[in-house]
Amino acid sequence: MKVESTKAEIKNVSPNIANAMLGEGLLVIGDVHGKINDYWKLVNFRKGCSIQVGDFGFKKQHDWFLKNIDYTQNQINFGNHDDYSYLYEPHSLSNWSYAYESKVMTVRGAYSIDKVYRTENLDWWANEELNYEEMQKAIDFYNFNKPKIMITHDCPDYARRYLFGIKDKSITSNGLQVMFENHQPDMWIFGHHHKSKNEVINGTRFICLAELETMVLSCPDIG
């Protein structure tokens, strides 16, 4: 049995990215926040593939990416500070993605606590999080496939409380929490909180990447 999803909901990780996970290693990059020159230095001088965890930037930055970056090698898992008119462009990992060979899953989105100070469709988008139906489908897919590694923008609710003392909840943190309760992957990599963390919680290593912080997933991590 295979969980079915529409193209708009799930995107298979490109063959190049999947091969990198199994071979040379996959570069995972923290929030960029529009600092495209720094991002370019990270991906341009390295052979291999990358996934950026979200908060890459807005229209100007995404236009630049599509013109200057090889999106068959480098992709973005959208956060809450991304231009969602680009969600289904080829550099985006869409609502969620999965690499079957290496059992790595991505899930986009997070809640903007500062959205009252932002302008809709300029620097804030109403669909910055999966809606309830989309999240349930992502949960069902996660439960069936039991990924080994998760790459998300935010993290499960319990990890938010444990690592950062955050008590408020969102659709994203609640949905990721349900996933975590149902299955504990080996590793969970995320950004959003702008702090570097590396802690084991209930058998899962949670790694929060600070702005432009990087790590490489190599074959021993995912083999």
Between β-strands 197-201 and 187-190, what pairing exists: parallel, antiparallel or unpaired? Answer: unpaired
Counting Cα atoms < 13 Å in the Cβ hemisphere of 36 gives 15
Looking at the whole model, is its pTM more than 0.85? Answer: yes
CB 192 within 8 A of CB 80: yes
The confidence score (pLDDT) of residue 24 equals 63
The tens digit of pLDDT for each residue in 188-213 reads: 999 999 999 999 999 999 999 999 99
The confidence score (pLDDT) of residue 12 equals 55
The confidence score (pLDDT) of residue 219 equals 54
CB 54 within 8 A of CB 80: yes
The tens digit of pLDDT for each residue in 121-136 reads: 899 999 999 999 999 9
Sorted by where each begins, the domain ranges of the chain are 10-222
Give the integer Cα–Cα distance in Å for 194 and 86: 23
List average pLDDT for each run of 10 residues in the chain, which is 223 residues long: 37 49 76 97 86 97 96 95 96 94 94 92 94 97 97 98 93 98 98 96 97 83 47
Q: What is the CATH number of domain 10-222?
A: 3.60.21
106 residue type, one letter = T
The confidence score (pLDDT) of residue 124 equals 93
Give the integer Cα–Cα distance in Å for 54 and 94: 11
